[in-house]
Structures are given as C-alpha cells and as structure tokens.
Structure 1
Amino acid sequence: MNMKKLMACAAVFTCLGGASFAAAAQTPATKSVQAEHTNEQYKVGDTTHDLYKDERVGVKDWEGKGLHAPKEGTQWVLISDKYALINMEDGKVLDIAPGNLKPLKK
C-alpha cells in the first residue's frame, strides 16, 4: 500500500471513531439525583425517604425556579443540586429537573 492510501485510510478511521464518541456523548443520561445527607441515589420510579413527602420541605416558588406546576398530591423538593417531583402519598419520584432552570415567563 502506498503512503497516500495509508494516510487516507487512517483519516477515515479517525473520523468514524470520533463520530461514534460524539453520538455517545449526546445520548441522554438517566435522570437521577444523589441525596447528600443520606448518600442515597434516586431515579424516576424510586421511592424516596419519608422526609420528602412532608409538605414543609416542598418548593413553594416552583414557577420562580422554572419548574412546571405540580399536580395535586405531588410536590417539587430540592435534593442536593436538583429538583425532584415527589408523589406525597407514596414518596415515588415522578420527575427530576436540574437545579439551574430559568424562571418561567408569566
């Protein structure tokens, strides 16, 4: 094989390899949050600690935090650096949102 063909093949393989890494980097990660005080990891569908079912820990200014309105019987709570939507009856995590959302426009 001459040097030009060898270099062309190397360039093609390099480009293809980089494309697969780029595609993998764009795959959405599973939504999860780790509670700092208990070191427990929660993802959507998990049952949280009873503390998060208490309405006193619920986020009251959810709109100002950029979160959608919680349905009746649910509430947003701050767990470490993320917000989790919790079913107040059974403590199940219904959704997880980043803690740096922009406020919703009125």
Structure 2
Amino acid sequence: MNFIESELLRIFVGEQEKLHHRPLYELLVSEALERGMAGATVFRGLLSFGLRHKVHTSKIFELAGELPMVIEIVDITEKIEEFLPVVEALLRDSGAQSLVTREAVRQWTT
C-alpha cells in the first residue's frame, strides 16, 4: 500500500443553517463534488454544546433542529487551499455560526 499526504477539512454548522433555501451542509458537499475533491462525508451530531454552553441533543424533540452537522472533506493540501475561499463565501453568505478545522491525514491507496 502507498499513501498520499493529505488534509482533512472539518466544518461544523447547524442542521437548520440554509443558503438559497438549501441546507448549508448539502451546498458544501455539492461544491466539493463539483470541484473534484477526493471525498466528503456529513455526520449528524447526537449530543453537543458550543460557545453558549447550551446542550443540544437528539433526545429532546424541541432541540432536534439545533444539532450540529459535521462535514469532512479530504484531499491534498493544494486542493483544500483552493476550496477554502468557497467555504468561506458560503459560510459568510449564509450568516451561519461555524467552526472550521484542518488536520494532516494520509490517504491510503492500492
């Protein structure tokens, strides 16, 4: 097996965040696909809290719409760098509260 040094771009947004009447997490994945990124996955958080220290959980019906969506996108550093302005524009235009992280990863190939 071989590996490619890559990066993981992780974006946290609320599941109710929208732009142009579409969920923000869907737009982010669509943009990643359109730009030929190596891969993207969306996870729905079951329990979380953020800056305001308010707990969000899927166990309480009223708060179900406030759960975090975590979008993970993997590619080489250069492609992540090229994609960041797209992410920044979508987050800015949506007005969403968000968190964006990056970390080094290895993509295994055969």
Class of the TM-score when normalised by the shorter of the 2 chains: under 0.3
TM-score, length-normalised on structure 1? 0.25
TM-score, length-normalised on structure 2? 0.25
Q: Relative contact order: is structure 1 or structure 2 higher (C-alpha 8 Å, sep ≥ 6)?
A: 2
Greater strand content: 2
